[in-house]
């Protein structure tokens, strides 16, 4: 079986041999210059952009299909196509487009750091030899500043009109800021100037950039998007979180000096810290949590932004306290509407909905932790098992956001105030009990549906499922351990249920 590198080399070599004036352009060259490792070492995903002068689509399609790879039309009008090499370890997207004038093609690109190009033949030689000098010696910098901007990590737009023509580049700028690039002042001003055009960008493209940004360390970028009023162009619903309108009259009841929006941003900030240092808060369970969190970081951050979005709609004043009854349910509903509009999948929407809807739950349990029964923990695990790790992190971030408030004020505002260390200890207790729950719930079942129907002389129906659930619960709680005990309990439950119905 050929390796992905072999397949990639054969495809690129074939393209170079069949077409004239063929170049690799853009981000792949930027990354090669920045990174010390060879391109294909320890990479799970990357894109290669190729441009071909006066590309003939049929010729390209036939070439790609000879390798039994997909041929996707991304933009028929502008002649932009894609093929993909993938297996369990790596995904390589190869985007191929047509050009008529190289300088004009480069001038239409977003930022100078993405304008470098090189003859495809030199790029293939680099892949063969792993010699980075081949790239350095043969690079073409038509802007005369791409290499300098990469070295200085400066984000500089090629032309103002490029932002206007494709406003999504404003969010791409935000993503590059996440990578440590410093945005040029003129470029930043263009982003602010054309931010209102973001509303006309396809939601699917917005979705893709949001995920990329929120999967990175992006609190500073969140501040940048907020400071320049860009975030509210793509998520206008967040305006209600800021100190204006209905929110203003209750400002002092939101605890944070700058109101509810400050709390929201601090929750995002604390969440990012927790995710980066899971071991600090959950030392015994960091590996279990890490893998679950890594694939859902962007959803967790969205949940942190939306978790209190309904508070201004439900707030009620009671003496010197503000009450937000059922805000978590309303916030979950609002988040679902926003995410649906932004073309998130039903699965993503449901997961975010459940996290937000339950974000008060851990705190409520904590307020009564001394009297909690094992059944209360069991109920939590059954109802929140699919998102328990994510829920615990959001709840901790939510709590940590209040640490900025002086201690005496927190004691005054919060009922049953407890230090944050006790809350973290309680969350770790939940994880300990959850580990026990997973072990016990994997034990062989004492009885099945057939046993229930036979011993109780009943027909198939919902009651059978209810009885089995009760038996499983009793087994997990250690109240029964044999088939005989399970059947006895089933009979008692059925008798009690039958009596209640009668």
**Per-residue pLDDT at 22 exceeds 80:** yes
Task: Give the residue with greater pLDDT, 450 vs 163.
Answer: 163
Per-residue pLDDT band at 188 (split at 50, 70, 90): very high
Tokens 């990479």: give the residue. 43
pLDDT of 443: 80
Distance CA 388, CA 381 (A): 7
pLDDT of 499: 64
Question: In this structure, which long-range contacts are made by residues 138-146, counting pairs with CB atoms below 8 Å and at least 24 apart in sequence?
Answer: 139/29, 140/23, 140/116, 141/115, 141/116, 142/102, 142/103, 142/106, 142/107, 142/115, 142/117, 143/106, 143/112, 143/115, 145/112, 146/112, 146/113, 146/114, 146/115, 146/116
- % helix / strand / coil in the chain, to the nearest 5? 65, 10, 25
Least confident of 184-193, 442-451, 493-502: 493-502
Residue among 48, 33, 53 at smallest CA distance from 91: 48
For the question of whether the overall pTM of this predicted structure is more than 0.85, the answer is yes
> Parallel, antiparallel, or unpaired for β 316-318 and 80-86?
unpaired
Distance CA 135, CA 279 (A): 40
Least confident of 99-103, 121-125, 274-278, 316-320: 316-320
pLDDT of 79: 86
Phi first, then psi: give them for residue 12, nearest 5 degrees.
Answer: -65, -40
> Parallel, antiparallel, or unpaired for β 45-53 and 321-323?
unpaired
User: Above pLDDT 70, what percent of the chain?
Assistant: 93
pLDDT tens figures, 297-339: 999 999 999 999 999 888 887 776 677 889 999 999 999 999 9
Per-residue pLDDT band at 250 (split at 50, 70, 90): low
**Taking a C-beta distance cutoff of 8 angstroms, is the pair 437, 476 a contact?**
yes
Q: For the purposes of burial, counting CB atoms within 10 Å of the CB of 113, is it exposed (0-12), middle (13-18) or buried (19 or more)?
A: buried
In order of 43, 209, 347, 361, 398, the CA distances from 299 in angstroms are 24, 13, 11, 19, 15
Mean pLDDT (whole number) for 222-250? 83
Local structure of residue 19 (DSSP, 8 states): S
**Per-residue pLDDT at 144 exceeds 60:** yes
Axis-axis angle for helices 420-441, 462-476 (nearest 10): 120
Distance CA 100, CA 96 (A): 14
**Per-residue pLDDT at 249 exceeds 70:** no
Per-residue pLDDT band at 463 (split at 50, 70, 90): confident
**Per-residue pLDDT at 5 exceeds 90:** no
Distance CA 134, CA 127 (A): 10
**Per-residue pLDDT at 501 exceeds 90:** no
Mean pLDDT (whole number) for 487-494? 87
Mean pLDDT (whole number) for 205-213? 96
Local structure of residue 34 (DSSP, 8 states): H
**Per-residue pLDDT at 253 exceeds 80:** no
Q: Which domains does the chain have, with CATH numbers?
A: 1-150 (3.30.460.10), 153-231 (1.10.110.30), 235-441 (no CATH), 449-501 (no CATH)
Local structure of residue 408 (DSSP, 8 states): H
pLDDT tens figures, 23-53: 999 999 999 998 866 766 656 678 899 999 9
Distance CA 270, CA 111 (A): 31
pLDDT of 502: 47
Per-residue pLDDT band at 472 (split at 50, 70, 90): confident
Phi first, then psi: give them for residue 154, nearest 5 degrees.
Answer: -105, 135
Range with top average pLDDT, 3-7, 121-125, 129-133, 251-255: 121-125
Distance CA 317, CA 236 (A): 26
pLDDT tens figures, 348-404: 999 999 999 999 999 999 998 889 999 999 999 999 999 999 999 999 999 999 888
Give 70's contacts (C-beta < 8 A, 6+ positions apart). Answer: 64, 82, 83, 84
pLDDT of 1: 42
pLDDT of 243: 60
Task: Report the SS3 class of residue 80.
Answer: strand
The average confidence (pLDDT) of the chain is 90
pLDDT of 480: 85
pLDDT tens figures, 260-296: 899 999 999 999 999 999 999 999 999 889 989 999 9
pLDDT of 245: 45
Residues facing residue 83 across a β-bridge: 94
CA 281 to chain centre: 21
């Amino acid at each position: 079986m050929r390796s992905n590198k072999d397949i990639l080399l054969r495809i690129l070599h074939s393209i170079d041999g069949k077409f004239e004036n063929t170049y690799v352009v853009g981000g792949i060259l930027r990354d090669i210059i920045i990174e010390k490792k060879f391109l294909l070492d320890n990479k799970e995903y990357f894109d290669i952009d190729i441009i071909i002068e006066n590309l003939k689509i049929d010729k390209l399609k036939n070439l790609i299909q000879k390798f039994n790879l997909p041929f996707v039309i991304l933009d028929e009008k502008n002649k932009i196509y894609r093929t993909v090499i993938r297996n369990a370890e790596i995904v390589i997207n190869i985007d191929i487009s047509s050009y008529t004038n190289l300088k004009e093609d480069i001038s239409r690109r977003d930022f100078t750091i993405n304008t470098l190009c090189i003859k495809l033949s030199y790029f293939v030689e680099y892949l063969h030899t792993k010699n980075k000098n081949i790239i350095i010696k043969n690079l073409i910098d038509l802007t005369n500043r791409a290499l300098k901007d990469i070295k200085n990590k400066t984000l500089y737009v090629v032309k103002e009109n490029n932002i206007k023509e494709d406003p999504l580049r404003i969010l791409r700028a935000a993503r590059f800021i996440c990578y440590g690039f410093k945005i040029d002042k003129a470029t930043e001003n263009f982003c602010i100037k054309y931010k209102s055009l973001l509303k006309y960008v396809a939601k699917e493209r917005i979705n893709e950039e949001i995920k990329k940004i929120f999967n990175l360390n992006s609190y500073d970028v969140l501040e940048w998007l907020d400071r320049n009023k860009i975030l509210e162009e793509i998520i206008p619903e967040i305006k209600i979180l800021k100190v204006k309108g209905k929110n203003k009259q209750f400002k002092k009841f939101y605890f944070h000096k700058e109101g509810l929006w400050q709390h929201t941003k601090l929750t995002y900030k604390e969440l990012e810290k927790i995710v980066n240092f899971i071991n600090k808060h959950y030392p015994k369970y960091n590996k279990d949590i890490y893998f679950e969190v890594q694939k859902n970081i962007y959803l967790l951050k969205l949940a942190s932004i939306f978790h209190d979005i309904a508070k201004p709609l439900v707030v009620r004043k009671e003496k010197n306290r503000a009450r937000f009854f059922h805000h978590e349910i309303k916030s979950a509903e609002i988040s679902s509407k926003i995410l649906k509009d932004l073309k998130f999948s039903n699965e993503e929407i449901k997961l975010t909905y459940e996290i937000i809807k339950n974000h008060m739950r851990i705190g409520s349990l904590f307020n009564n932790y001394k009297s909690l029964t094992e059944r209360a923990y069991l109920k939590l695990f059954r109802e929140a098992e699919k998102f328990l790790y994510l829920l615990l992190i959001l709840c901790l971030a939510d709590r940590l956001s209040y640490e900025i408030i002086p201690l005496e004020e927190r004691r005054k505002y919060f009922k049953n105030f407890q230090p944050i260390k006790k809350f973290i200890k309680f969350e770790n207790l939940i994880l300990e009990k959850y580990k026990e729950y997973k072990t016990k719930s994997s034990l062989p079942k004492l009885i099945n549906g057939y046993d229930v129907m036979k011993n109780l002389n009943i027909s198939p129906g919902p009651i059978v499922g209810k009885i089995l659930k009760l038996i499983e619960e009793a087994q997990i709680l250690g109240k029964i351990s044999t088939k005989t005990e399970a059947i006895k309990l089933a009979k008692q439950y059925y008798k009690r249920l039958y009596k209640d119905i009668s």
